[in-house]
Structures are given as C-alpha cells and as structure tokens.
Amino acid sequence: MGSDYGKHMSDIILGGQDGLVNVLGITMGVATAAPRTELVLLSGIAATVAESISMAAVAYTSTSASIDYEHMKANQAGMNREDVEKTVKLLSGHLAQEKIEYVHSRLIVHRSDKPHELPMQKAVSVGFSTLLGSAVPLLPYFIMPVHDAIIVSVLLSALVLFGTGVLKARLMKMKNWKRSGAEILLVGGLAAAAGYLLGYALRIPV
C-alpha cells in the first residue's frame, strides 16, 4: 500500500512540476517579448494542452514497456503470479517491509488482475497533474494586466515549486527538506530566467 501511494504521489509531483516549469518559461518569454494578455494566454493554453498530452503519452508508453520487460524477466525465470506471491510471503519474515514492497512492485504485472489498466492509470495521473501544474503560472494572466501578472506568476510558481520540493522530501523521508525545496525552486527559476532573456532578446516594439 505504501509503495503504491508513494508511486502515485511521485507521478503527481513529476507531472505538476513539469507542467509548471514549462508553462512558466513560455509565458515569461511571451509576456516579455509581446506584453499582450491574449498572446500570453494563447501560448500558455497551447503549451498546457500539448504538454499534458505529451506527458500522459510518455507515462503510458514507458509504463507499458516497463511492465512488458518485467513480465518477460519473470517468465524467463519461470515465475507466475502464484510463485511471486509465495516468494514475497517467504521473504516477509526476513526483509524489512520497504524491501518487500519493492520486490512486490517490481512484479506488479503478476499481482494485478488487469495489468493493462496500470499504464492508463499512470497516464491519467501524470497528464492531469501536468494540467494542474501548468495552470499555476498561467492563472494570474486571466485576472490582471500583463506586467502585474508576470510578478504574481513568478511568486506563485516559486511558492508552489518550493512546496513541491518539501513534499517530495517528506515522501522520500529526506532530512534536508529545505534543500529539496530549493533545488526544485532553482529549476523553476532557471526556466523563468531563460524565458525572460529570450523574450527580451525577441521583444516587439509597442
């Protein structure tokens, strides 16, 4: 259960962080180059849709490939679902719970009645979290002028990114949560800076 929950939260963090950083960089670039609300929103929404679909597709194909590989390795070892369950049961008296969950999750295709649903679940989780993450830097442009929205977008994104790093540290039981938050915040800062510099270099006179 703990392993499944951790993987689910990892998917959410992955998608949310990717969507936020991607759209933050794009909106910063467009807002700096051509400070018009309709252009920023158009580019941001287009990036949000494209990135969400792309991340969901990658999650689906990568999970399918991983399951196929684990299935192949299990078959080569002559193990079916019952063998896996028996092995995990035997290990339960000798290994820590975390290690048992890891062994069990590596052969998840054999303990699932519908293994084909796993890639779809992963795709939905990653795609939806990417969509939500992308909305964070874009939201201010719906409710305020571009120049004010830029500042609010950066500050809001920074807050969410730092919080994401802290959540990641908690899930992974890392002691230095401040460092984890700062690392993810730095990634977002680099995306914003790159977007701003590119937009400044390509700015359109008004």
What is the pLDDT at residue 1?
Answer: 44
Domain of residue 66 covers 2-201
**pTM as predicted:** 0.76
Residue 119 lies in a domain: yes
Residue 61 lies in a domain: yes
Residue 206 lies in a domain: no
Lookup result for tokens 């999650």: 59
DSSP state of 34: S
Residue 8 lies in a domain: yes
Q: Which helix (H) or strand (E) holds 45?
A: helix 37-76
Say how many C-beta atoms besides its own lie within 10 A of residue 70's C-beta.
17
* Residue ranges of E strands in the chain: none
Number of domains in the chain: 1
Query: Would you give per-residue pLDDT tens digits along the chain (206 residues)?
Result: 445 556 677 788 888 888 999 999 999 999 988 889 999 999 999 999 999 999 999 988 988 887 777 777 766 666 666 666 676 666 666 656 666 566 656 555 544 555 556 788 888 999 999 999 999 999 999 999 999 999 999 999 999 999 888 887 777 777 778 888 888 888 888 888 888 888 878 777 65
